[in-house]
Structure 1
Amino acid sequence: MLRRLPFLLFLLIGSMAFSQKKSELFAQIDELKSEKSAVEQQLAEAKREISSSNAKAETLEVENEGLRDANATLLKNLSSFSQLSKQNSENVNKAMAALERKEKQLSGINDMISSNDSVAVVSLARIQQMLGENGKVNVTEGIVIISNSLNNLFGSDTGLELTEPGKLWLSNVAKIIVANPSFTAEIEGLNITGEFGPTFDQASAIAKELVGAHRIPSDKLNVVAKDGNFREGINIKLHPDYKGFYDKAKESIKGTQ
C-alpha cells in the first residue's frame, strides 16, 4: 500500500496538472474565439467600408464624366460665342464704315445744295441790281423768279405785242440769262380765266423776243402756261444746272464708296 502511494500521488498530481492545462487550453480557445469574432467583425466592417468606397468611387466617376462632358460643351459654346462675337464685331465695323460713307455722301450733297442756294442768293442781289428798283425778284427753293405784269409787258391782259417798257425789261432779263450760263430759263404764263391758249401765246412772245432780239439759245428756254391761282402775269424762272448738280452728286457718291 505504501509502495502505491507515491504512484497515486504522482497520478493525482499529473491529473491535476492535466486538468489545469485543459482549463488553460479551453480559456485560450475561448480567447481565440473572441479574437476571431472581433476579427470577423472588423473584416465585415472593412468590407462594408470598401463597398461604400467603391460605390462612392463609381458615383464620383459618373459625376466626373458628367463634368467632363459639361466642360467640353462649355468650351464648345465659348468657342462658338467667341466666333459669333467676332463676326458681330466685324458686322458692326462694316455697318459703321458704311454709315460713315453715307454720311460723307450726304455731307457732300448738302454742301452742293448749300452751294446752289448760295449761288441763287448771290444771283438775286446782282439780278435785282440789273433790273432796278421796280424789278420783282425772289428766290424759292433755289430758283430765281423774275416777275412782271401783263399790262406792263403787253399793255393789257390779252395783248400779244410787247410794249417799249416790256422790251426794255426783257433786254435786262436777257443780260441776266447771258450772265448766268449755268441757269436755264422757264417762261411761265399765269392766268385766272382758265384759258391757257392766250397765256401760252404771251409766254411764247416773250421767248421769241429773247431768242430773236437778244440771241438767247432756244434750248435754254422753256415755255409753259399755268393757272395763276388768282394771279396773272409772267414769271421767268432761272433754274440751277440740275444735270450738273446730279452729275456732281453721283461723282461724290462714287468717290466715297
Structure 2
Amino acid sequence: MKTKSSIILLLVLSTGVFAQKKSELIAEIDNLKSKISEVEQELAKAKREISSSNAKAETLETENIGLRDANTTLLGNLSNFSELSKQNSENVNRAMAALARKEKQLSGINDMISANDSTAIVSLTRIKQTLGENANVNVAEGGIVISNKLDDLFGSDTSTKLTEAGKAWLVNVAKVIKSNPSFRTQVEGLNITGEFGTTFDQAAAVAKELVGVLQIPSDQINISVKDGNFKEGINIRLQPDYKGFYAKAKESAKAAQ
C-alpha cells in the first residue's frame, strides 16, 4: 500500500510538475508570439519607411534631373541671349555707321545746293548790273528768270519780228548767258489765249537771234511755251546744270560710303 501510495504521489507530483512546465511553455510561447508580432510590426514599419524613403529618393532624383535639364536650358538661353545681344549691338553699330554715311552724303548735297543758291544770288546782282536796275530779273526754282513784254520785244502780242529795242535787249541778255556758261538757257514763251503757235514762233525768233546773231551755242538753248496764267511775254530762264549737279551729288554719295 505504501508503495502504491508512493507511486501515486510521484505521479501526482509529476503531473503537477508537468502541468507547471506546460503552463510555463505556453506562457513562453505566448511571449514569443508577442515578440514575433512586435518584430513583424517593426519590420512592416521599416518596410513602409524604406518604401517611403525610396519614393522620396526617386522624387528627388526626378527633381534633380528636372533641375539639371532646366539649368542646361537656362545656360543655353543665356548663351543665345548673349549671342543675340552681340548681334543686336553689331546691327546697331552698322546702322549708326550707315546713318553717319547718309548724313555725310546729305551734308555734301546740301552744301552743293547752298553753293548753287549762292551762285544764283551773286549772278542776279551781276545780271542787274548788265541789264540795268529796272530789268525784270528774279530768282525762281533755283534759277534766274529774265522777263520782257511782247510789246517791247515785237511791238505787239501777235508779231514774230523783233524790234530794234528787242534786239538791243537781247544783246545784254547774250552777255549774261556768256558770263554764266555753267547755266542752261531756256527761252520760254508765255501765252494767255491758248494759241501757242504764235507764242512758239516768238520764242523761236528770240532763240534764233541769240544763236544766229549773238553767237550763243545752239546746244545751250532750249525753247518751250506754256500758259502764262494771266501773263504773256518771254522769259529767259537760266538754270543750273542739273545733270552736272546730280553727277557731283552721285560722286559725293559714293565718296561718303
Please indicate, yes or no, whether the TM-score normalized by the shorter chain is above 0.5.
yes
Is residue 148 of structure 2 the alignment partner of residue 148 of structure 1?
Answer: yes
* Distance across 2 between alignment mates of 1:25 and 1:160: 158
* Distance across 1 between alignment mates of 2:44 and 2:195: 124
The one-letter code of the counterpart of 1:176 is: V
Is residue 104 of structure 2 the alignment partner of residue 104 of structure 1?
Answer: yes
Task: Give the Å deviation of 1:244.
Answer: 1.2
The one-letter code of the counterpart of 2:48 is: R
Task: Give the Å deviation of 1:29.
Answer: 6.5
Partner of 1:234: helix, strand, or coil? strand
Deviations 1:24-66 (A, max 9, x none): 8877766665555444433332222111101111111122222
Is residue 160 of structure 2 the alignment partner of residue 122 of structure 1?
Answer: no
* Distance across 2 between alignment mates of 1:230 and 1:44: 117
2:192 is matched with which residue? 192
Task: Give the Å deviation of 1:105.
Answer: 1.7
* Distance across 2 between alignment mates of 1:48 and 1:195: 115
1:165 is matched with which residue? 165
Task: Give the Å deviation of 1:16.
Answer: 10
**Which range moves more in the overlay, 92-101 or 243-252?**
92-101
Task: Give the Å deviation of 1:151.
Answer: 0.9
Task: Give the Å deviation of 1:245.
Answer: 0.2
Task: Give the Å deviation of 1:109.
Answer: 1.5
1:73 is matched with which residue? 73
1:134 is matched with which residue? 134
**Which range moves more in the overlay, 71-80 or 23-32?**
23-32
The one-letter code of the counterpart of 1:49 is: E
Deviations 1:215-234 (A, max 9, x none): 21111111222222221111
1:9 is matched with which residue? none
The one-letter code of the counterpart of 2:192 is: I
1:56 is matched with which residue? 56
* Distance across 2 between alignment mates of 1:16 and 1:224: 156
The one-letter code of the counterpart of 1:155 is: G
1:245 is matched with which residue? 245
The TM-score normalised by the length of structure 1 is: 0.83
Partner of 2:234: helix, strand, or coil? strand
The one-letter code of the counterpart of 2:80 is: S
* Distance across 2 between alignment mates of 1:141 and 1:229: 17
**Which range moves more in the overlay, 120-129 or 231-240?**
120-129
* Distance across 1 between alignment mates of 2:161 and 2:256: 54
Task: Give the Å deviation of 1:104.
Answer: 2.0
Task: Give the Å deviation of 1:107.
Answer: 2.2
Note the residue ranges of structure 2 that are not aligned, 5 or more in a row. 1-14
The TM-score normalised by the length of structure 2 is: 0.83
Task: Give the Å deviation of 1:181.
Answer: 0.8
Where do 1:23-62 residues align within 5 Å? 34-62=34-62
Partner of 1:235: helix, strand, or coil? strand
Where do 1:170-181 residues align within 5 Å? 170-181=170-181
Partner of 1:160: helix, strand, or coil? coil
1:5 is matched with which residue? none
Where do 1:203-214 residues align within 5 Å? 203-214=203-214
* Distance across 2 between alignment mates of 1:29 and 1:199: 144
Task: Give the Å deviation of 1:19.
Answer: 9.6
Identity of aligned residues (%): 73
* Distance across 2 between alignment mates of 1:193 and 1:59: 100
2:256 is matched with which residue? 256
**Which range moves more in the overlay, 63-72 or 24-33?**
24-33
The one-letter code of the counterpart of 2:127 is: I
Partner of 1:215: helix, strand, or coil? coil
Aligned-CA RMSD value: 3.2
**Which range moves more in the overlay, 76-85 or 63-72?**
76-85
Partner of 2:89: helix, strand, or coil? helix
